Structure 1
Amino acid sequence: MNSRVTLGLAGLFLVGAIIAGYWGLTLSRQPAPEPVATPVANASAAPAPAPAEDPARHPVVVLVNDVAPFAPITAADVTLEKLHTVPAGSLTSLDQAIGRTPWRTLTAGSWLNDESFEAGSKLSRMIRPDERALAVAVDEVTNAGGQLTPGDYVDVLLFLRMDTLNVQPTAQLVVPALRVLGVGEQLGLTNDGQPSSPARSNDEKLKQDQLRATARTVLLAVPEQLVSRLMLATQAGTLRLAVRSADEKRLARYWAGDSDSGANLANANRELLQFSQLAMTAPPKPVATHTGGAPRKSAVEVIRGNQITQQTP
């Protein structure tokens, strides 16, 4: 091979080697490409789509905090909840509640209406205008074995022991069909149908049932015309409460001022027998008057303890 050809090939290879080395050096100095971040779905960052409005739901103002009496309601105390069934008379806008002052304690979770801001205790909102709430003392027997519940209807019976004024034991119906407002500390429903002492948990409900079974007082809704009679009966003898059947639907309006409430009151007065009549004792004999003859000696009444005797001097 010619030496010139050999030298030409060697020069060509040298130039190729130089070009390849420069190219490799240039590529090594270029910055590495930045890794492309793969987007990761973040459920917390992505806003959830707003639920579609249900036209069947309506706003109701509900308390989220307990509100003390005479404390104005603030925006932090109330919220709007959408309900399918709107309670009658409930407030539907926050502006209707904010700034108003209740007369009594309002508990969290209860919905508001205009009656929430009216004066009066829970008990006063459980009776009708022509009724009075009267408490009577009870024990396990009088309390129907501890089974009385607010909302029951009872007949009040009176038992009188034998004494000098009542020659035989007597028992009679004093007032029929009285509504039980409360047993012990547990109260029933107010006039707007809301529970006066709602249980917030099963444990609290169990505690209320235990206290109700051992209660020593029962609150009764008594017609105004019969309050004095029941008061006298509580002092005259021993009371018993006889529970009436829940199937007697007319009891809900028995003393409510309807057209037949006057007849019910007249029947109650008519059926209240005198104690001597109920005991079937003979009426007192009339004192005979003497127009002539020798004057009779008057007898002297001698009292020894519970015994009364007549002695003629």
Structure 2
Amino acid sequence: MNSRVTLGLAGLFLFGAIITGYWGLTLSRQPAPEPVAQSTIGAALANAQSPVEDPTRHPVVVLVNDVAPFAPITAADIALEQLRTVPAGSLTSLDQAIGRTPWRALTAGSWLNDESFEAGSKLSRMIRPDERALAVAVDEVVNIGGQLTPGDYVDVLLFLRMDTLNPQPTAQLVVPALRVLGVGEQLGLTNDGQPSSPARNADEKLKLDQSRATARTVLLAVPEKLVSRLMLATQAGVLRLAVRSADEKRLARYWAGDSNSAASLANANRELLQFSQLAMTGPAKPVATSPGVAPRKPSVEIIRGNEITQQTP
């Protein structure tokens, strides 16, 4: 009985082995998938993942690392970014920047142009050829309570105390409508529209705001022909800065290329008043004489030899 069961199981296993072998042989003879179909699918996926080039965007060379002065720019320091609006004069090819040496420190994130490789400090690139940058000492009152901001326009007022040369205290407008270049360590925009002292994070911005509020100097853009007048005013008396309204659009006209140096000079000369006029003093009064005493008539002294006579004309 046991031998019959054993023979039956052996036959069953043999039959299963034959079925399994036949199935494996059949599967191995199936044709492999054509590689052309796979390559077609891969190309379709690649086309779907690659972005379509936007014709409205243009390449601009942008720094990805800070570059120290007099250090040649390498390929690792720059990259091309596609921008819709291309800054005027910006470089559009990496070859235009690689190997060039800047004269000043360049910060990461700024776009490059030919002015990036020209000599000159940030302050010298904030004024035009017919302007001069002049620093004026200020305190909390002169600094308008720390509210002055680069880009504001101010009138410079002069106050003279009474002394031997100035019998009456006087005040007058010395130079009108001067552009504020910087307050303390905070500077405005350069002539290429870039910030001179950009804040990289909130902490640096807070530090700049604090230095502006406690500044002891203010940088002014002064027309060349008015520099000597402002210099004399700083030594003659006490200065005050009066902020002009932003509704005058002076800063917008400046960035549009309007130059009002000649008009500022003419207005300053026209509005400059004499100290006696500002003191509102009248004409000199005649010397009072004692009552009953006739005023002395003028006489001429005539000398004839040893004789001296007085004659009244």
CA distance in 1: counterparts of 2:186 and 2:260, whole angstroms = 31
- Over residues 234-264 of structure 1, what are the superposed CA-to-partner deviations in whole Å (9 max), with x where a residue is unaligned? 000000000000011246558x996864343
**Equivalent in 2, 10, 13 of residue 21 of structure 1:** 10
Distance in 2 (alpha carbons) for counterparts of 1:97 and 1:79: 10
Q: Quick one: distance in 1 between partners of 2:192 and 2:270? A: 34
Q: In the superposition, relative to structure 1, how do residues 59 and 261 fare at CA in structure 2: closer, same or farther (>3 Å)?
A: same
The equivalent residue for 1:292 is: 300
Q: Is the 8 A contact 2:155 2:241 kept in 1?
A: yes
Q: TM-score, normalised by structure 2?
A: 0.75
2:10 maps to a residue whose letter is G
State the alpha-carbon separation in 2 of the partners of residues 202 and 143 from structure 1: 24
SS, match of residue 204 in structure 1? helix
Q: CA deviation at 1:219?
A: 0.1
Match of 2:214 in 1: 214
Counterparts of residues 156-195 of structure 1 (less than 5 Å): 156-195=156-195
Give the alignment's TM-score, normalised by structure 1: 0.75
CA distance in 2, matches of 1:136, 1:197: 20
- SS across alignment from 2:246: coil
> SS of the counterpart of 2:220?
strand
Is the contact between residue 154 and residue 241 of structure 2 (CA under 8 Å) also seen in structure 1? yes
Contact 1:62 1:79 in 2 (8 A): yes
Residues 259 and 205 of structure 1: CA distance in aligned 2, closer, same or farther (over 3 Å): closer
What SS does structure 2 have at the residue aligned with 1:133?
strand
Report the Cα distance in structure 1 between the residues aligned to 2:262 and 2:226, rounded to whole angstroms: 12
Residue of structure 1 equivalent to 2:30: none
Gaps of 5+ in 1: 1-9, 34-45, 295-313
CA distance in 1, matches of 2:299, 2:125: 66
Equivalence for 1:80: 80
Contact 1:59 1:93 in 2 (8 A): yes
Match of 1:203 in 2: 203
Aligned length: 265
Partner Cα separation in structure 1 for residue 227 and residue 112 of structure 2: 34
In 1, the alpha carbon distance for the partners of 2:127 and 2:260 equals 19
Residues 250 and 198 of structure 1: CA distance in aligned 2, closer, same or farther (over 3 Å): closer
Write the distance in 1 (CA, Å) between the matches of 2:225 and 2:10: 120
- Structure 2 counterpart of 1:305: none
| Contact kept? 2:137, 2:216, Cα under 8 Å | yes
Residue pair 1:177, 1:251 contacting (<8 A) in 2 also: no
2:131 is the counterpart of 1:106: no
Mapped partners of 2:219, 2:229: distance in 1 = 16
Distance in structure 2 (CA, Å) of the matches to 1:70 and 1:134: 28
Q: Give unmatched runs, 5+ long, in structure 2.
A: 25-44, 287-297, 303-313
Conservation of the 8 A alpha-carbon contact between 2:176 and 2:264:
no
Q: Distance in 1 between matches of 2:278 and 2:228?
A: 21
SS of residue matched to 1:178: strand
Contact 1:189–1:195, Cα closer than 8 Å, also in 2:
yes
> How many angstroms apart in 1 are the aligned matches of 2:250 and 2:108?
35
Q: Which residue of 2 aligns with 1:6?
A: none
Aligned partners of 2:151 and 2:251 also within 8 Å: no
Q: Deviations over 1:125-182 (max 9, x none)?
A: 0001000000000011000111000000000000001000001110000000000000
Instruction: Give the secondary-structure state (helix, strand or coil) at the position aligned to 1:267.
Output: helix
1:146–1:16: structure 2 CA closer, same or farther, 3 Å change rule? closer
Instruction: Give SS of 2:76's match.
Output: helix
Match in the other structure for 1:247: 247
Amino acid at match of 2:157: L
Paired AA for residue 202 in structure 1? A
Cα deviation 1:54-91 (Å, max 9, x = unaligned): 22221111101111111110001001111122111111
Aligned to 1:229: 229
SS of alignment partner, residue 124 of structure 2:
coil
Q: Are 1:276 and 2:265 matched, yes or no?
A: no
Residues 142 and 241, structure 2, Cα contact 8 Å, conserved in 1: yes
Match of 1:306?
A: none
Q: 1:24, CA displacement in angstroms?
A: 4.0
Distance in 1 between the 2:204 and 2:97 partners?
29
Deviation at 1:270, TM superposition (A): 2.4
In structure 2, C-alpha distance between the alignment counterparts of 1:102 and 1:87, rounded to whole Å: 19
Encode CA deviations 1:189-231: one digit per residue, 9 max, x unaligned.
Answer: 1111111111111222122111101101000000000000000
